[in-house]
Amino acid sequence: MGAVETGMILLSFYPLYRMKMMRYEGKKVREISEITGMRINSISQLCRRYREQGLEEFKRNKATSHHYALTKEKEEEILKRFEEAAEAGQTVTVKEIKAAFDEERGKETGRGYIYMLLKRHGWRKVMPRSRHPKDASEEACEASKKSRLVCWKPEKTCSRTFQEVGTSRKD
């Protein structure tokens, strides 16, 4: 199981045990929800599963994460074909890998699963560039040469202030 035992209670089942004790003490689901911070629906569902299955069956059917569509060995076997093609200099696309996985599984696989699979197996996206991404196209260069706007700047003014004719500066 991987859980550390504390007396008779497994730590992974402590929340369930705590809920069951509160229910046994006569607390309502809403009160338990406020105390534990769990949703009312989750508490009701856990209590129902416990009633239907019992503790031993409930522990055995504990949900786990990482539900992979294929085993790790099978995934590696399929990716090996594409790895050889990639090392030979051929372009390998996600679409091709997805098609191979769909064929192997016998049903449709989501693209997200394929991207997660590639990340899990240490693949990365490598794509050659035909040109620098900040490089302007030739059409843009030609258009900029033809549409050069002439910037007009005001003439430099002298450092002296403007005076009306007939006035003296000594006023």
pLDDT, tens digit, for every residue of 62-113? 555 556 778 888 889 999 999 888 888 888 888 999 999 999 988 898 888 8
- Backbone φ and ψ for 132, nearest 5 degrees, come out as -65, 140
Among the listed residues 111, 3, 110, the one whose alpha carbon sits nearest the alpha carbon of residue 64: 3
pLDDT at 63: 56
Each residue of 108-140: pLDDT tens digit?
988 888 898 898 888 888 776 677 767 777 777
pLDDT band per the 50, 70, 90 thresholds, residue 10: low
pLDDT at 18 over 70: yes
Q: pLDDT tens digits, residue range 38-65? A: 889 988 888 888 888 877 766 665 555 5
- Residue 60 confidence (pLDDT): 64
Candidates 4, 34, 42; CA nearest to 50 is: 42
- CA–CA separation, 16 vs 58, rounded Å? 10
* Confidence label for 37 from pLDDT (cuts 50, 70 and 90): confident
Report yes or no on whether pTM surpasses 0.75: no
Q: Judge whether residue 162 has pLDDT over 60.
A: no
Question: pLDDT tier at 152 (50, 70, 90 boundaries)?
Answer: very low
Q: What is the DSSP annotation of the chain? A: --PPEETTEEGGGHHHHHHHHHHHTT--HHHHHHHH---HHHHHHHHHHHHHHHHHHHHHT---S---SS-HHHHHHHHHHHHHHHHTT----HHHHHHHHHHHHTS---HHHHHHHHHHTT-------SS-TTPPPHHHHHHHHHTPPPPP-PPPPPSSPP--TT--TT-
